[in-house]
């Protein structure tokens, strides 16, 4: 695996682990529960990506650096959660950075594995949103990806920059940085200004199905 | 992939996307949320099937026709949801058709991949129920497969027809049609007449565990 | 697959199916729902493990002994649930045994597949906790692994014994027995004495994120 991909993956692992551990601490789980949540949030997206492109065993399970990273992030969040809580929306900001980094790394690794540039952004999106989905499902909540502003679209945009750059043969590092920046800024701006699209028209009657 | 399998897969993608998008619209998600739900419901079963038989990357992520289909279905459901709601149980009917089509396609693809005719129906069942399970889990609900009448059994029956036909060397198209029809009719009849099996005997005391 | 692994896998399938079916019966699902829950709980861990090490199609879907086992366990639990409920915490005890057996079998199979002894325990842990997670997620509950005492750590400990024994070239059967025993006893003791670790410090304010 080339260096760029590894760095993105480790950064994503760190920030997603922080977001999972913070939510766990807020729900008053004990240290074990917090660490399991850190692991699940940090690893789900990358493992899903690796399964889908046939790269088994997944990097997150065969490379010792991944457990070292999410374990540190989980312990950090556990110990200093009141401090981290003083930030603005800590869970959502870490989540947005993880989304951006994993979406870009996912598209990159998919292209490496020979997926066509037209479909690689979908794989990037999946590995970006996977961690947050598992975190929220484990806590029996409707995932952020369904409730939040511009979530999956931001991941898709970031991943598309990478695919486009690849098709135009631009330098990898540059397009990766641009993709991360685009996804992260889109998501933060949507969060800040409450951007969202219209909702469906109300059905005439509300009834169970 | 042969034509029959492709057609079944695309029909299943369309109707499952409709069922997911309708539920999303009913929960008042915005357009992004509705499309994510359409994607998840439409793709989960097929992706699971492809992962389980080692056909990576999954067709739903490497073929542009799948996103085109679920995107159209999602937009359609979003725009005309009040109209579609006037049908009888729209979510459950689309869900039943998707269940039937994916169960049959799943068993068919499993046989193609060399799974034994005795186990192929289980793979068909899994790819039939996968989409609906993910849809309901994402919305933090107990999945239809646990609450509903004859759900998994209908999928298993439809998939078994395909495996049986394969063992008897009957023509593919005929057994596939019979399998879809059997599963769909079983599920609709169960829905219409409220068929269900007995529940377990009540335990002497109710207590947490 | 060698005999030891097969035996562990079948025992784990049986007890996890019991735990899933008992929970389903307690929630008053009908027979179909109970059997689906038995299948999901019994198979999720092993299927996840096989996917992660690239052993497709997974044993739980290609070997007829697995469906025979979880079907029997499901029917048993359905028919005699009031009787089984008289035991102390039946769901948690069966769950603990399944956890121990699958954690050990998972680590063992991962080592066989060439995963390094340092990472094999994580794979064992995943296949131990996978079934219980899916069971609880399907019932829209926060999984035991997040709420319960020493859950993932017990699985990790049992799996680590196997990896350690492998590194020291000790006999397989002995280390497997020791691993199962360690995990099962740790989990039961934690359950009995309510062992848990400290929770995170309370954040200054409770606010949505």
Please give the Cα distance from C29 to B177 (Å, whole number).
31
- Interchain CB distance below 8 Å, A146 and B137: no
- Interchain CB distance below 8 Å, C146 and A33: yes
Query: Does residue A144 belong to any structural domain of this protein?
Result: yes
- Interchain CB distance below 8 Å, C64 and B118: yes
Mean pLDDT on C133-157: 90
Query: Does residue A209 belong to any structural domain of this protein?
Result: no
Mean pLDDT on B55-63: 88
Residues constituting chain C: 209
Q: CA of B92: which chain A residue's CA is closest?
A: A209
Task: List phi, psi (to 5°) of A30.
Answer: -85, 180
Q: Is residue C172 exposed (0-12), middle (13-18) or buried (19+ Cβ within 10 Å)?
A: middle
- Beta carbons of C175 and C155 less than 8 angstroms apart: no
Please give the Cα distance from A15 to A20 (Å, whole number).
9
Q: For A125-148, how does the pLDDT look when each residue is reduced to its tens digit (9 = 90+)? A: 999 999 999 999 999 999 988 887
Query: Does residue A140 belong to any structural domain of this protein?
Result: yes
- Beta carbons of C207 and A26 less than 8 angstroms apart: no
> Beta partners for B199?
C30
Say which range, B37-46, B82-91, C9-18, C96-105, has the weakest mean pLDDT: B82-91
Query: Does residue A201 belong to any structural domain of this protein?
Result: no
The pLDDT of residue C148 is above 90 = no
Query: Does residue C142 belong to any structural domain of this protein?
Result: yes
Set of chain C residues whose Cβ sits within 8 Å of the Cβ of B53:
56-57
Compute the Cα dihedral for B203, B209, C5, C7 and give only its sign: negative
Extended beta strands in chain A, E state: none
Q: Chain B contact for C89, CB < 8 A?
A: yes
- Beta carbons of C124 and C110 less than 8 angstroms apart: yes
Residue A76 structural domain:
3-193
Please give the Cα distance from C10 to C6 (Å, whole number).
6
Burial B149-161 (b: 16+ CB within 10 A, else e): bbbbbbbbbbbbb
Chunked mean pLDDT (size 10), chain A, 209 residues: 83 93 89 92 93 89 91 92 80 90 94 89 93 93 86 93 94 93 93 80 54
Q: For C6-62, how does the pLDDT look when each residue is reduced to its tens digit (9 = 90+)? A: 899 899 999 999 999 999 988 888 888 899 999 999 999 999 999 999 988 898 888
Query: Does residue B33 belong to any structural domain of this protein?
Result: yes
Q: Give me the residues of A, 68-87, that contact C with CB < 8 A.
A: 77-79, 81-82, 85-86
Query: Does residue B206 belong to any structural domain of this protein?
Result: no
Structurally, chain C folds into a number of domains equal to 1
Q: Chain A contact for C202, CB < 8 A?
A: yes
Closest approach of A137 to chain B, Cα-based (Å): 7
Set of chain B residues whose Cβ sits within 8 Å of the Cβ of A141:
140
Please give the Cα distance from C112 to B140 (Å, whole number).
38
* CB proximity list for B186: less than 8 A, separation 6 or greater: B150, B153, B154, B157, B158
- Beta carbons of A42 and A135 less than 8 angstroms apart: no
Q: CA of A124: which chain B residue's CA is closest?
A: B61
Query: Does residue A79 belong to any structural domain of this protein?
Result: yes
Q: Chain C contact for A35, CB < 8 A?
A: yes
């Amino acid at each position: 695996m080339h260096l760029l991909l590894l760095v993105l993956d480790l950064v994503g692992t760190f920030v997603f682990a922080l977001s999972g551990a913070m939510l766990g601490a807020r729900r008053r789980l004990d240290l074990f529960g917090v660490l399991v949540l850190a692991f699940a949030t940090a690893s789900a997206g990358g493992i899903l990506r690796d399964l889908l492109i046939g790269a088994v065993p997944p990097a997150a399970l065969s490379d010792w650096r991944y457990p070292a990273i999410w374990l540190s992030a989980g312990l950090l969040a556990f110990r200093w959660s009141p401090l981290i809580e003083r930030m603005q929306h800590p869970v959502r900001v870490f989540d947005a950075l993880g989304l951006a980094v994993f979406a870009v790394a996912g598209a990159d690794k998919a292209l490496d594995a020979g997926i066509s540039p037209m479909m690689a952004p979908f794989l990037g999106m999946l590995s970006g949103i996977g961690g947050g989905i598992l975190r929220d499902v484990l806590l029996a909540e409707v995932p952020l990806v369904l409730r939040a502003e511009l979530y999956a679209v931001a991941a898709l945009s970031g991943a598309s920059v990478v695919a486009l750059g690849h098709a135009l043969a631009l330098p990898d590092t540059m397009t990766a940085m641009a993709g991360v920046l685009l996804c992260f800024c889109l998501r933060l701006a949507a969060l800040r200004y409450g951007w969202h699209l219209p909702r469906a028209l109300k059905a005439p009657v509300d009834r169970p199905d």
